[in-house]
Amino acid sequence: MKGHIKYYFENFIARKSNFIYFLIISSAIAAVIMLFVEMSLGLLEEGSLLNLWWNRLMQLLGIKKTASSPGVQIVNLLYWIFSVAFSGTIIAFLAAKVSNFITNFKKGLSSVIDTNHYVIIGWNSSIFKVFNEIKIANENQPRPTILCFNRMDNIEMNVKINLEYPNQKGVRIITRSGDIYSSQDLARTNMVKSKSVIILDDTLTPDFNIETTILASKINFESQNTPLIVQMKEDYNIPLLTEIMKNQVYPIHKNKIISNVTSQSIRSKHISAVVMDFLDYDKDEIYFLHVDELEGKTFKQAMLMLSDVTLIGIKTKNDSVLINPNKEYIILKDDMLITIAEDDNTNLKLSDNQEMNKMLNELEISQNSNLDKEKLSIFVLGWSKLGQQIINKTLPLLSKDSNIHFAFRNELTHTPPTISKQHNINYTSTLLTNDQNIEIKKIINENKFNVILILGHDDVQTQQVSDSNTLMLNIYVSSLLDKQKNNIPTRVIIQLNDGTKEELIPKNKYNELIVSDTLSSLMISQLAENPKLWHVFEELFNVKGLKINTSSIFNYLNNDQIKTIKITGLILLALQKNHTFIGYILDDKLHLNPPKSKEITINSSLELVYIA
């Protein structure tokens, strides 16, 4: 009932003429209420009910009560109407001036005086994920300030932020409007004194050119080295930008990070979990630490001496990054350790076990640290330029007896999938028609796929339409897999353009990883805190660089009589194959950065997680 009343009331007063009637009716009803109140208290004077009601109405309107004739009362009412009209006009004029004054302030045209703040230039759906990750990263720090700067109306921007990101406890968000191509407007952000500047792939500006915004920002920096974290749609200008703004511009190519992470994650669901752990601020992250006590020690010694963090590499004095370096590398005075840790606490526990040092000295480390290639059957549903990038980066990780089945709409594809003969991978292509549901059902029922990769037809369709079709296909594929009842569920990886739609994907045993612009926003947040991590991510997520991998304990250990093993033992086993140990999987659960003193049970589910 309450909802109905509210609904009809809002519709009634929405029309301007109805609002006048509403005021008249409200005044009349209020006069009746006051009449009954005075009657119940015995305060009512003698007279007809109509005169008594009229007197109360006049009193409510501020007209002096009088016992004069009706004609005089009407004249008094007219005086009141003219008085209200003139005074109302003056008040309205003054109110408009004050309102305009306040509105001009709300337009966000003033300069920012904050320092050590985060500046976000541009706008797209990933901005809210960036807000959240910055807030989490600063949980143990004073409340961070984030400045949003773009061409959107400042009031509209505030409304959108408050609507989409209502929980702003622990973070201060301020907004400014302006031209993101203008160096003068950008100067108002006080980016020179900011902690980091993030430039998003702006969706508000038609045919947005991020290079222009970068160059406009460069004018304001002079000799300052405030890091610019830039989210780029195309990569052809990245080498030039990193050259002219060396050690200042840290580019993130959206499709590159998506294709790199997806290609690694296709091999194992646990690899995708490791990647996401590195990128977000939940649990363990990658930190640079300086430990004086390890100066002069070898890399392999430091791996075992660090009790609570996992060593994966070295950042040298000249900012070179060495992931999975030569295990005999001697740690120098100015070296920073690249570690996996819960936080950047430098109060580290060190253990120096003589027996362990003896074992290290006797350990024979292989000179070859190549990954074992995976035998996989992959179904790729949908196609785009991004799909080709993903497949190109996945092929070097697959064994020759793997197979890939492509299914896509030819009219929604610019270029069909291709696989170089050098990879010698079996592949099949199916052109889907208007009966695609029947065709997809036949493909899934006649094959046993390890992985189904659902891609949007982004080359032709808009992002919104592409994402909608992907979501519908995912529901249909899940229903088909439910009927198969396989002992080992098929892993489904879904690509979306807009990460905010992840909540529309049902949580089930198939849907494992959703790749979207969320990946780039997670990396943006990491680099905003520590831009030097860019070199680490380039190594870890580069198709020609290092890889995260998993391998059964029985590929290292032939003695089935051993029932338990310490983490230090797993590190030594990985070292024998020149692998850098980062964690283990036991009973299908990932344990990243485990304490060295921990002892675990050996069974057939135990796998080592390592970088090689």
For the stretch 250-291, pLDDT in tens is 998 888 888 888 888 888 878 878 888 888 777 788 888 888
Express each pLDDT in 497-549 by its tens digit.
Answer: 888 788 888 887 787 777 777 888 888 898 998 888 888 888 877 656 667 88
Fold match flag (118-253 vs 377-515) = yes
The residue among 487 and 451 whose pLDDT is bigger is: 451
Taking a C-beta distance cutoff of 8 angstroms, is the pair 457, 413 a contact? yes
Q: What is the b/e burial string over 369-378, where b = at least 16 CB atoms within 10 angstroms of the residue's CB?
A: bebeebebbb
Q: How far is CA 373 from the centre of its chain?
A: 31
> Residue 522 half-sphere exposure, CB side, CA atoms within 13 Å?
19
Kindly report the CATH class assigned to 118-253.
Answer: alpha beta
193 touches 118 (CB < 8 A) = no
Query: For position 14, what pLDDT does the model report?
Result: 64
Domain locations along the chain: 2-65, 118-253, 377-515, 548-611
Angle between helices 70-106 and 49-60 (to 10 degrees): 30
Could you tell me how many residues make up the chain? 612
593: left (phi over 0), alpha (psi -120 to 50) or beta: left
What are residue 222's phi and psi, to 5 degrees?
55, -115
Tell me phi and psi for residue 363, to 5 degrees.
Answer: -75, 130
Find the helix or strand (DSSP H, E) in which 175 lies: strand 172-177
pLDDT for 368 equals 60
Spatial distance between the Cα atoms of 257 and 523, rounded to a whole number of angstroms: 9
What percent of the chain lies above the pLDDT cut of 90? 23
- 73-77, 160-164, 165-169: which has the minimum mean pLDDT? 73-77
Measure the CA–CA gap between 276 and 513, rounded to whole angstroms.
10
- Residue 163: pLDDT band (50, 70, 90) is very high
Are 335 and 315 within 8 A, CB to CB?
A: yes
Phi, psi (deg, nearest 5) at residue 20? -65, -45
- Parallel, antiparallel or unpaired: strands 118-121 and 196-199: parallel
Give the E-state strand segments of 299-387 in sequence order: 310-315, 321-323, 336-341, 377-381
Residue 533 and residue 286: Cα distance in Å, rounded? Answer: 8
- What is the model's pLDDT at position 32? 82
Q: What is the CA radius of gyration of the chain?
A: 33
Given pLDDT bands bounded at 50, 70 and 90, which one contains residue 409?
A: very high
For residues 488 and 469, is the Cβ–Cβ distance under 8 A? no
Label residue 379 by pLDDT band (50, 70, 90).
very high
pLDDT at 67 exceeding the cut of 60: no
At residue 9, the pLDDT reads 65
**Per the structure block, which two tokens stand in for 495?**
């690509």
DSSP state of 396: G
| Whole-number pLDDT of residue 189 | 93
- Long-range CB contacts (< 8 A, 24+ apart) of 319-322? 319/247, 319/532, 319/535, 320/535, 321/535, 321/536, 321/538, 321/539
10 Å Cβ neighbour count for 240?
11
Q: Hunting for tokens 């499709």 — which residue is that?
A: 255
Cα–Cα distance for residue pair 274/9, rounded to 1 Å = 55
CATH architecture observed for domain 377-515: 3-Layer(aba) Sandwich (3.40)
Q: Where are the beta strands (DSSP E) in 185-279?
A: 196-199, 228-232, 249-253
> Confidence band (pLDDT; 50, 70, 90) for 460?
very high
Exposure of 130 by Cβ count < 10 A (0-12 exposed, 13-18 middle, 19+ buried)? Answer: buried
Which of these, 258, 267, 254, 306, lies nearest to 547 by C-alpha position? 267
Alpha helical stretches, state H, 252-394 = 254-265, 269-279, 299-305, 354-362, 385-394
Task: Please tell me the distance from the alpha carbon of residue 409 to that of residue 149, in angstroms, as a whole number.
Answer: 40
CA 14, chain centre distance (Å):
39
Q: Which residue has the tokens 């480390």?
A: 365
